[in-house]
Amino acid sequence: MKLTSFICAAIFSASAVIALPTELGDGVTLVRREPRMNARRAARGRKTNPNIPAASDASIDAITNNTNINYSTNWAGAVLIGTGYKSVTATIIVPTPKKPSGGSSSTQYAASAWVGIDGDTCQTAILQGGVDFYVQGTTVSFDAWYEWYPDYAYTFSGFPISAGDSITMTVTASSTSAGSVKLTNNTKNKSVTHSFSGETKKLCETNAEFIVEDFEENGSLVPFANFGAVTFSGASVTTTSGTTVGVSGATIFDIKQNNVVLTDCSVSGSSTVTCTYV
């Protein structure tokens, strides 16, 4: 059901640059595009990739006490797999990222929390929006963004974010080629929205996600930050029939890179997903 590798390649105009392969470990090689300049500039070449499965390992499962966990190179969290997913929403408290154990104070580390539609069993397109966390030395920063994969992510302007803020993230598909991303900073009483229309890469509306990600920036996955813990509360999904469902029964993913598990995610009740850096 999941792909064992993912290759993203494209041919651009003369202004584009040639994609180069990147080794990720676990036998996965990605081919990625460099960002093209247009009226909207992608934030730092930031891009979400679809879920890139990583090989399971029984010895790791025994050590971490994780059972029935799916390992991914870049996704941690919960994914509902079904049909007719139209809207996904959840609220997080923005964490304070830290450099991982053994990390360098001169390296910038990052992670992201987002909600979205598609990108797991359907990898044609992803409608998503969320918050990125960056740390370098003692400097911490945040970006709020929206994205319709396979395009790059774009930063919301005029949307201040601080550690400890309560952020509600909602994505809504009005059709398979149109939709919107809305972020609300409940702490600062500020909202931003971006609408998409006429997208050529269409949604399948078969995946609904609550994800902490090791995302791509300037052609490579970023050095992954110790994000502490991210909890998606009030997590819910609305379907085309108007039914609202929770996260009970969702597929759980943890990030594993170079045979090391970096996250521990779980579902509690019908509306809470928690991911912890380990």
CATH number at residue 77: 2.60.120.700
- Is the pLDDT at 9 greater than 60? The verdict is no
Structure confidence at residue 68 as a pLDDT band (50, 70, 90): low
Q: What angle do CA 39, 40, 45 make, to 5 degrees?
A: 130
Q: Look up the domain containing 204 and give its range.
A: 46-277
- The Cα–Cα gap between 40 and 176 comes to 23
Is 69 inside any structural domain?
Answer: yes
Is 16 inside any structural domain?
Answer: no
Extract the tokens encoding 12: 């651009």
Is 135 inside any structural domain?
Answer: yes
Could you tell me if 94 and 133 are in contact, meaning their C-beta atoms sit under 8 angstroms apart? yes
- Is the pLDDT at 259 greater than 60? The verdict is yes
Extract the tokens encoding 26: 């676990």
Could you tell me if 212 and 131 are in contact, meaning their C-beta atoms sit under 8 angstroms apart? no
Is 160 inside any structural domain?
Answer: yes
Out of 147, 199, 205, 213, pick the active-site residue: 213
- The stretch 166-175 carries a mean pLDDT of 98
In terms of Cα–Cα distance, which of 53, 34, 58, 54 is closest to 45?
Answer: 34
The reported pLDDT for the residue numbered 106 is 98
Is 188 inside any structural domain?
Answer: yes
Is 24 inside any structural domain?
Answer: no
Per-residue exposure over 117-128, b if at least 16 CB sit within 10 Å of its own CB, e if not: bbbbbbbebbbb
- The stretch 123-146 carries a mean pLDDT of 97
For this structure, is 199 an active site residue? no
Q: What is the pLDDT of residues 74-131, one digit of tens each?
A: 999 999 999 999 999 999 999 999 999 999 999 999 999 999 999 999 999 999 999 9
Is 165 inside any structural domain?
Answer: yes
**pTM passes above 0.85:** no
Q: Is 58 helix (H, G, I), strand (E, B) or coil?
A: helix
Structure confidence at residue 28 as a pLDDT band (50, 70, 90): very low
Is 120 inside any structural domain?
Answer: yes
Number of domains present in the structure of the chain: 1
